[in-house]
Structure 1
């Protein structure tokens, strides 16, 4: 006998079976089945709620950020009527300056500052110094002022090659007469007054500070005095010459004072070309030799007599028996004749090696310099 076919309750083919099945289904729907249904986790609902808060918060923050960046007036910037001082150190780049401007609440973004500096093409022109900016100053105005340099009030400019008398006159002008030329000259008249503070003046004795008042541009404060300006210039000399090696001039029997003296002559007798300065320094070293031809030992510089007489000297004046005539007196003049540049000081510390012991004469025509070994060759250049 074949096995009976297994059918479900709902598959009964007759009417009675289908009727009973429908009735049972209706009754089942009225039962409370909640206690046997699996409980649903609340995690998805909580996660969805947190996600919604994050998304909405992000949209709000982004909108506020966009508004602030478009308005260009962040609430944290310095208000108009307030001021902030910014000190830019030597060698500071745009990034470091921008960070300081943000710290002082003058700009909203350091990157915006550096970007604008680059756009204006002044990244290499930002100058060190102390600046005071008012709140509300535009980014472009801040950049322009940093490129122009700090407001120095009454500026005192000492060009290379100035004499003490020239410097004294410039001081009187820069101070609007508050510090007279006579007062400054008196303050700089005795180097021994400052020797305890500046070791490079050890051999200057009671001579004036001629040669050591370093050529530079200085700010003359309202409370500046002749003494404070002298010390400012000596401080600058000390700073500028800190890296110089004085061993070569010292090996030739020269003190630092003598080396500055020689550099002041090189300043007056050479152009601004470093190589020319080094060659002229070598010629003067060669002439300082006291052995050899009769001309040895005589610097024969017209500039030393010009310092003494105050004008371009005549042939009679350069050969006159006066203290600053280097035609009639061997060796260096009694004092430096001007404030030499750092380049001339370097030339005296490191003269051109190829010219040492070789060239004893030179002359210049325009910007061209000609060096010769003998007096005959020197005179032959003029024929």
Structure 2
């Protein structure tokens, strides 16, 4: 039976198969497009809004503190590798990209850091800009320590054997590189291991030689730059005493152990210079303390030793500790006094011109 519908031409059929002018085609396409965008938004929006926050949050061991060492000269890629190995970032590319975006690569500092797993990359970068926040690899050497005491401190802080450190701490090992050691006696570095806080964290594993050279470099920077020659001429003019750079260091070490405050140091130095000028013995308990390694008794002061300034005139053979810059400057520019005696406690001081005054000060305060 013949269809009642009007027959369509081929062109009309082709057009119909392509959608023709039907309104349903564009609408359906738009709906599908919107659906796809919605799915992409759900998947990508968290990353677009938080960068790599979701990656950081997915790291294992969340909240655990991890120490990482950044070597000297490390660029963004090397730092990223170290952080990735420590489990602190999910991938290196995100870190490098963020560093480049912030243009801070040259501001990232080497050293030892403590980070918390899950910490944002921005926070990690901020800390790397601020500098090391770990105490690992740091060594604080206070004023007034001997080589032996310094060696024990180095062993405690850095794990370097105290025995190895003392064996290495010989002037002959360093005099070629540090000419100021040419006057050192007994092949000793006593007095030259400069008191300061040092950071060896970027070295990974420092050696005794590394530590000693850092201390000698600091001495060269802080002491050798002082006008020691000018001070020696002033002392010659004022007291008639010839002093070498090494003599100044030696007397400064005695002042360091006798004085309690920086204000006392020039007066203590003046007292010792007045004694040297008068041909008196220094009579410093501290010099025998160098021998005993601690307290000094009346019997100790009767024992023969080149460090017993109750029995021997002049200075000790070597410094008795590493003095502070304040003590060195006090010896370079002592107070102008007539003092020949002093009695100092942790809270008070008495400087005297005569022995009777000195005995009176002791009697009143014991």
Give the TM-score, by structure 2 length: 0.63
Would the alpha carbon gap of residues 366 and 197 (structure 1) be closer, same or farther in structure 2, given more than 3 Å must change? same
CA deviation vs aligned residue, 1:291-319 (integer Å, no higher than 9, x gap): 4xxxx431110001011012211112123
Secondary structure of the corresponding residue to residue 371 of structure 1: strand
Which of the pair has the greater relative contact order for Cα pairs under 8 Å at 6+ separation?
Answer: 2
Is 1:231 aligned with 2:208? Answer: no
Structure 1 residue 129 displacement after superposition? 6.3
Matched residue, 1:182: 163
Report the Cα distance in structure 2 between the residues aligned to 1:254 and 1:279, rounded to whole angstroms.
18
What value does the CA root-mean-square deviation take over the aligned residues? 3.4
Give the TM-score, by structure 1 length: 0.60
Residues 243-282 of structure 1 aligned to structure 2 (within 5 Å): 243-246=225-228, 247-249=230-232, 251=236, 252-271=241-260, 273-282=261-270
Structure 1 residue 228 displacement after superposition? 2.1
Would the alpha carbon gap of residues 129 and 337 (structure 1) be closer, same or farther in structure 2, given more than 3 Å must change? farther
Of 342, 348, 351 in structure 2, the residue corresponding to residue 362 of structure 1 is 342
Unaligned runs of 5+ in 1: 1-70, 86-102, 110-127
Higher helix content, 1 or 2? 2
User: For the pair shown, which has the larger CA radius of gyration, 1 or 2?
Assistant: 1
Structure 1 residue 138 displacement after superposition? 4.2
Secondary structure of the corresponding residue to residue 196 of structure 1: coil
- State the aligned residue count: 263
Residues 158-169 of structure 1 aligned to structure 2 (within 5 Å): 158-169=141-152
Residues 1-383 of structure 1 aligned to structure 2 (within 5 Å): 105=100, 107=102, 130=110, 136-138=120-122, 149-151=132-134, 153-176=136-159, 179-188=160-169, 190-220=170-200, 221-246=203-228, 247-249=230-232, 251=236, 252-271=241-260, 273-289=261-277, 291=278, 296-352=279-335, 354-355=336-337, 358-381=338-361, 382-383=363-364
Contact 2:252–2:327 (8 Å) recurs in 1 = yes
Secondary structure of the corresponding residue to residue 344 of structure 2: strand
Unaligned runs of 5+ in 2: 1-47, 60-75, 80-97
CA deviation vs aligned residue, 1:116-167 (integer Å, no higher than 9, x gap): xxxxxxxxxxxx964689995446x766777785545322221111111111
Would the alpha carbon gap of residues 329 and 154 (structure 1) be closer, same or farther in structure 2, given more than 3 Å must change? same
